[in-house]
Chain A
Amino acid sequence: MSESMIIAETSKGIVSPVTAELVSAAIALGTNPTVIVPCTDSSIADSAGYDGVAKTIAIKGDCFTNYDASSWASAIDAVMPSGSIVVAATPQSKDLAARIAAKRGLAVVQDVVKIDGKNLTSPVFSGKAMQTVSATGDFVISVRANIFQSASEGTANVSVIDQSGDVATAVQEIMERASARLDVSEANVIISGGRGMGSPDNFSHLERIADVLGAAVGASRAAVDTWDEIPHNMQVGQTGKTVNPNLYIAVGISGAIQHLAGMRSSKYIVAINKDADAPIFSHADYGIVSTWEETLPILEAALSSMMS
């Protein structure tokens, strides 16, 4: 069996749960996975053990304090065994995947959602079509979240290697997100508002539901472009973030093709819109034709009583 190297997804000093999905993807490729954990504190690798994974390698280096593409790629490349490489399709890991692929002269396929032998399928044209390619030899892939089953947790057999790289960029300042709420790119549940919210103040109604569900709050481009209070980092879509949550609730969003580009692969989509003909309804699992003013209070009450 050929080998594969899973580069664990990490955030805020822990290995993210999506790493367990990467294990299943690597096994679907017919490979024998090793998990690689880039870190500054190798104890975080202790949680990176999974069924089907014989070995976890913690690569410990100062360069992993902040993300810097070139030093991460060179430190990981210096000590990671050869094989195909599997990462999560997050913005940071896609970037890292491309750098490591180039370093090793491997081709890279991003945003894989289906693996069939060596045939890899990804969405193209903003999800308006799927593209299947066939890979030979070793290659690098990033895998979308919420597609592959999570491998069960197992004991991690960790070896630690000290290796850093030269950091060429200099972080001057980290601006923590003001709110404690998750970013849309990290959340499993997202509630987004569009121009139909009428004013940025009305996003407080979305925030209340987000707090009940532990969700992130997103927005359409029309909302971001119209209201200064709604920052671009909330934007979902073609020129915003591509998200893949379990649940996406679109409120006062018409469902323009560029918005769909960022969220159509969500597992479940709920649409609340007063216009019964809004295109978003053709993509919604559950649609409610009504104003948000009437609907959100009822939804909030129903969800609160369920969650308590």
Chain B
Amino acid sequence: MANIVVLVKRVPDTNARIVVNGNQVDLSAVKWVISPYDEFAIENALQHREAHGGSVTALTLGPSDADKVLKDAKAIGVDEIVRVWDDSWGELDSNGVQIALTEAITNLNADVVYCGKNAADTGAGSTGPGIAERLGWASVSNISDVSFDGGVTVTAPADGGSAKISLPTNVVISCDKGSVKVRKPNVKGIMMAKRSQVNVVSASAPSASITFVSHSPPPAKPAGKKYEGASSANEVAKLLRDEANVI
């Protein structure tokens, strides 16, 4: 029986247009979703439960507007939903986020933690390995497949190819897309999620040593050259050599 925790994060839909207003992004109009890789983490966590028994707790860090993604996870099939937050926190850097989540994971008596390989907003991918270090656990990142015959074995990228790696019990597994098909919530799951309660817990977090300065739009690329017709491939090949100097 495994006590499985899966980390989920609320992020803007990847289709959302991101507008920078002044020196900060304006996210007031975006649709919010579970970060795409977290969906693979949830699926792998559920399969872990089905293979070895136990329960799955989805854990997020954020204010109450993050409850929605926990309920979405509940609708997909997790057992418990927990949100860690403290109104007294100021800005959190990677240290703060990891310390707070690690405290929550420890209090949940987790045996194994799944997460996405990165969150679609920051793209950083620091949280999984950072938490593993603080828990004193092993970790493996960017896994594409997992099998539960015997213990837990994953496929992860390795120098020159990929590797099949068998894992100890206490481990943080950060998930890439891979071949797993994620299940969708059914009507019963959605009804159950509606009635479910988010368990809000507190944790301590240190103040940030990395602080936000500004957002800006991505650097504009000068307009490119556009040609009609296949024969322009000759011209483009020349430009790649003589103008771009990339071949």
A interface list, Cβ under 8 A from B: 11-12, 66-70, 73, 91-92, 94-103, 105-111, 119, 122-137, 139, 168-177, 185, 189, 213, 232-233, 235, 238-240, 242, 246-247, 257-258, 261, 264, 267-270, 272, 276, 281, 283-291, 294-296, 298-299, 302-303, 306-307
Contact = CB atoms under 8 A, between A and B. Distances in A.
Interface stretch (B41-49, B58-66, B67-75, B222-230): B222-230
A218 to B, nearest CB: 14
Nearest to A97: B126
Interface string B116-149: 0100111111111111111001111110100000
Contacts of A288: 226-227, 229-230, 232-233, 236
Contacts of A177: 160-162
B140 to A, nearest CB: 6
B107 interface: no
Interface stretch (B2-10, B14-22, B76-84): B14-22
B14 A98 contact: no
Given A168-B171, A242-B123, 10 more contacts: A110-B125, A130-B215, A135-B210, A169-B165, A213-B247, A233-B157, A246-B246, A276-B226, A286-B224, A286-B227
Nearest to A173: B164
A126 B231 contact: no
Contacts of A168: 137-138, 168, 171
A132 B212 CA distance: 6
A239 B240 CA distance: 29
B221 interface: yes
A157 B223 CA distance: 46
B140 A110 contact: no
Given A125-B121, A133-B213, A281 B165 contact: no
A130 B226 contact: no
Given A270-B240, A298-B234, A103 B133 contact: yes
Contacts of B218: 123, 127-130, 264
B114 interface: no
A127 B209 CA distance: 24
A100 B233 CA distance: 47
Contacts of B240: 247, 268, 270, 286
A284 B232 CA distance: 15
Nearest to A132: B213
B53 interface: no
Nearest to A270: B236
Contact of A128 (B18, B122, B127, B171): B18
A306 B140 CA distance: 43
Given A69-B139, A129-B18, A261-B14, A123 B123 contact: yes
Interface string B144-173: 100000000101011111111111100100
A299 B236 contact: yes
B180 to A, nearest CB: 10
26 contacts: A68-B138, A69-B132, A91-B125, A94-B126, A95-B141, A98-B124, A98-B129, A99-B129, A102-B131, A105-B95, A106-B95, A107-B93, A110-B123, A124-B122, A171-B164, A175-B163, A189-B247, A232-B177, A240-B177, A268-B246, A269-B224, A270-B240, A286-B225, A288-B232, A299-B233, A306-B238
Interface string B11-29: 0101111101000010000
By Cβ-Cβ distance, the 3 closest A-B pairs, closest first, are: A294-B230, A168-B138, A302-B237
B129 A69 contact: yes
A133 B224 contact: no
B208 interface: yes
Contacts of B217: 129-130
Nearest to B226: A287
Contacts of B17: 128
B144 to A, nearest CB: 6
A132 B144 CA distance: 31
Given A99-B130, A168-B168, A286-B224, A232 B213 contact: no
B247 A303 contact: yes
A97 B217 CA distance: 27
A172 B233 contact: no
Contact of B161 (A96, A122, A137, A175): A175
Nearest to A300: B233
Given A129-B18, A289-B227, A289-B228, A169 B246 contact: no
Between B141, B214, B240, the greatest number of chain A beta carbons within 10 A of the residue's beta carbon is seen for: B240
Contacts of B161: 174-177
Contact of A169 (B138, B159, B176, B231): B138
